[in-house]
Amino acid sequence: MAEVFVAKVDEFPDGERRIVSSGTHEIGVFHWQGQFYAYANMCLHQGGPACEGVIMHKVEDVIGPDRTWVGQKFSDERVHFVCPWHGYEYDIKTGECAADKRLRLKKYNVVRRGEEIYVSV
């Protein structure tokens, strides 16, 4: 398997992303809470740049004790990135589509060698 250099760890702050290319592969690499995640930068909806949109905590409904809807809040744990074309959301840790959990972006392995990050293509 070929590997693509992404960045040096100290040049890739937590909470940011990089887009790297190798031939026909365009890959979004995320650094989130000390971990690295990499996915194909192609939205499953209409092929948009899925990894290039906003990163945000998942919006969750709040249900009251009487089972009625109270409002919404941002999740403390789940984070999504949003395709800028049509708003499809993907879980940053799994690549799972928020709207249809049967769908996932192609995942790539991230390799750390010393202070350098690579993606296996």
Side by side, the strands of the sheet bearing 107-108 are: 17-22, 25-32, 35-40, 107-108
Give the whole-angstrom CA distance, residue 99 versus residue 89: 7
Which CATH number do you get for residue 108?
A: 2.102.10.10
The whole-number average pLDDT for the span 45-49 is 93
Q: Residue 7 is part of which domain span? A: 3-120
| Number of domains comprising the chain | 1
What pLDDT does 60 receive? 87
Q: What is the pLDDT of residues 48-92, one digit of tens each?
A: 999 999 999 988 899 999 999 999 998 888 999 999 999 999 999
**pTM of the predicted model, to two decimals?**
0.88
Average pLDDT, the chain: 94
What pLDDT does 1 receive? 72
pLDDT over 90 percentage in the chain: 88
Q: What is the pLDDT of residues 99-108, one digit of tens each?
A: 899 999 999 9
